[in-house]
Amino acid sequence: MKTKLTTILLVLTAGLAFAHEGIELGPNKGRVVEFSTNETMHGEVTAKEGKLQIALLDKDMKPVKVEAQSVTATAGTREKPVKLEVSKNETSFTIPAPKDGEWLILQYKDSASAKPITARLHFNEENCEPCGNPEWRCACAEKK
């Protein structure tokens, strides 16, 4: 029992100590989110003019043409989730940026009949001191 409690405590402490670790940036310096269970499809989230662009990338981080794929987006709070309007073109999906501090929940589907894959992103716009990027796309692995 002591071993289990010690292990849990260490895991939680390590997770807080390395807050930025594990964030991957794509070829356009956007935040990469996983859209598959086997790392064959990714989404790269970039921001421009109050909107987020979500480009699809294959396992080699090369662009994928948007055809039958779909994304749904939800932001807000757990008590008041807000469905965001998603538009798409042949290279990406576009959604309005959530409010600072909100969670963005993305559900990706390869086709209309496919099971959705969920990706979560905490949209924190506060700038990271070492790199100057917003926290939601900081990959500097700075210890806090």
- Which range is least confidently modeled, 16-25, 59-68, 102-111? 16-25
pLDDT at res. 2: 52
pTM above 0.85, yes or no: no
Given the DSSP bridges, would you call strands 92-96 and 51-58 parallel, antiparallel or unpaired?
antiparallel
User: CB-hemisphere CA count at 13 Å for 72?
Assistant: 12
Residue ranges in 45-127 assigned as alpha helix (H): none
Q: Are 94 and 53 in contact (CB under 8 A)?
A: yes
131 pLDDT band, cuts 50/70/90, is confident
66 pLDDT band, cuts 50/70/90, is very high
pLDDT tens digits for range 38-47: 999 999 999 9
Work out the burial of residue 89: count CB atoms within 10 Å of its CB; fewer than 13 is exposed, 13-18 middle, 19 or more buried.
exposed
> Which domains are present in the chain?
2-137 (2.60.40)
